[in-house]
Chains A and B, each alone.
Chain A
Amino acid sequence: MIRAPLSATSVLDETSDAVALAAAPWAAVLVLTSLPWRFLQVLFIDQLLELGNNAAHYGRALGSTANAATIAFIVSLIGRAIYARAINLAAASGRRPGKEALRVPMAALATYLFTASLVAALFYATWFTIIGIPLTIIVSGLAIGTMPLNDRAGIVAPLKRIGRFAREAKTLTALTFVFLVALVVAMVNLVAAFAIGLWLVHGFGGFDVSRWEALLDFGTRRFDLLLIAGGIIAVEPFWIAANVILVRKAGAEESGEELRLWFRELVGR
């Protein structure tokens, strides 16, 4: 049920309700399918930074990591599609989605694999321009948000649909900013969780954690990369849900608050 007119705050408000309904167990499916993709991304960036100027000479080794990451990317997209369907069902019915969340229509899934691959290619082609990063993040969100609407296999229709919802640029930009802040907060929480964990193990367990302190120190390259990946994994369920809700609300913008009132009128009659 659409409850309020489209705005970043109303989207976030309805997102929290939908996530509360769909999180168990569908957020776990999303996290589990995303983990290999994020770990391989971290491994790839770590290898690149390790090699530095010599990276161009290790094309085969880096290429195999990139290929493995791309396969893991496909798996993560399937997880995203299942989660997006669960969120859509939760938002539509107001109930906890059951196993029907797994039955993602083939056309919707295949179309999403296409749009997400296109966005990923655009991301890697433009990420060094900096502005390409937020732009592709926004389009990536719209790709998953519009996935439940794709009922037929095709190339042009899903792109048109993304373009149609991209007109909500103000709300999309606001949501991207909110989730950027959420990512930073998630990373700070992860750092704190690791620090508290080490402190407890050392203080109460009496174990020597000096080696772990060096590994889990903010500023250690691998730990920093894993922190970013962990932050993204923590925020991703909310980000996907927000995009699904945004597309639902934008599609039914005219039926927002007024339809709720009409519904009240109808019930009151």
Chain B
Amino acid sequence: MATATTRWCVHHPQRAAFALCMTCTRTICQECATQWDGIYHCAPCLAKQRTGVVARSPVGGWLALVIVTAILLFMTARLMLWSGALIAGLF
């Protein structure tokens, strides 16, 4: 539960909190809260995400994600077969 000290906006200490930033989990006022895809973010976190997107090339992350997912999906089909045959052998 929130304590008395967390009831105020971290960027505007004189203002009452309105929401919780889902990135930094700090309380923020109505002015600082921006809803993006149904999720509240504070202005600094949104700015950080924006610069991060511009500065960092997402190619590495995408490549790793696609390769690992493809391997996992292949493994899923194999594991489904092997574990199924193992269980079927018991009946």
Q: Which residues of A contact B (CB under 8 A)?
A: 5, 44-45, 48-49, 51-53, 55-56, 59, 62-63, 66-67, 69-70, 73-74, 85, 88-89, 91-93, 105, 107, 110-111, 113-114, 117-118, 120-121, 124-125, 127-128, 148-149, 151-155, 251-256, 258-259, 262-263, 265-266
* Contact status A89-B17, CB under 8 Å: no
**Residue from the list A51, A63, A151, A255 in contact with B20, Cβ < 8 A:** A255
* Contact status A48-B84, CB under 8 Å: yes
Given A114-B69, A153-B61, A262-B16, also A121-B76 (CB < 8 A): yes
Interface string of B18-56 (1 = CB under 8 A from A): 111010010100100001011110000000010011000
**Residue from the list A5, A67, A155, A262 in contact with B17, Cβ < 8 A:** A262
CB distance from B76 to the nearest CB of A (A): 5
Q: Which residues of B contact A (CB under 8 A)?
A: 1-2, 6-7, 16-20, 22, 25, 27, 30, 35, 37-40, 49, 52-53, 58, 61-62, 64-66, 68-69, 72-73, 75-89, 91
Given A153-B65, A259-B19, also A55-B37 (CB < 8 A): no
A63 to B62, CA, bound (A): 29
* Contact status A52-B81, CB under 8 Å: no
Nearest A residue (CB) for B26: A254
Nearest A residue (CB) for B15: A266
* Chain A contact residues: helix, strand, loop or mixed: helix
* Contact status B1-A258, CB under 8 Å: yes
Given A48-B85, A52-B88, A254-B20, also A124-B68 (CB < 8 A): no
Q: Which residues of A contact B88 (CB under 8 A)?
A: 48-49, 51-53, 55
* Contact status B85-A121, CB under 8 Å: no
A111 to B35, CA, bound (A): 21
A-B contact pairs, 7 of them (CB 8 A): A5-B1, A48-B88, A53-B88, A56-B89, A67-B77, A124-B79, A128-B86
How many cross-chain pairs have Cβ atoms below 8 Å apart between A and B? 148
**Residue from the list B2, B53, B81 in contact with A59, Cβ < 8 A:** B81
* Contact status A117-B72, CB under 8 Å: yes
5 residue pairs, one from A and one from B, having the closest CB atoms: A92-B38, A124-B79, A117-B72, A55-B88, A48-B88
Extra contacts, 13 of them, besides A121-B75, A153-B58, A255-B2 (Cβ < 8 A), are: A44-B80, A44-B84, A49-B91, A63-B77, A66-B81, A93-B38, A110-B65, A114-B68, A117-B72, A151-B49, A154-B64, A254-B20, A265-B16
A150 to B39, CA, bound (A): 11
Q: Which residues of A contact B81 (CB under 8 A)?
A: 59, 62-63, 66
* Contact status A258-B65, CB under 8 Å: no
* Contact status A152-B39, CB under 8 Å: no
Q: Which residues of A contact B66 (CB under 8 A)?
A: 110
Q: Which residues of B contact A70 (CB under 8 A)?
A: 73, 76-77, 80
* Contact status B2-A254, CB under 8 Å: yes
CB distance from B1 to the nearest CB of A (A): 7
* Contact status B18-A259, CB under 8 Å: yes
* Contact status B65-A148, CB under 8 Å: no
* Contact status B83-A111, CB under 8 Å: no
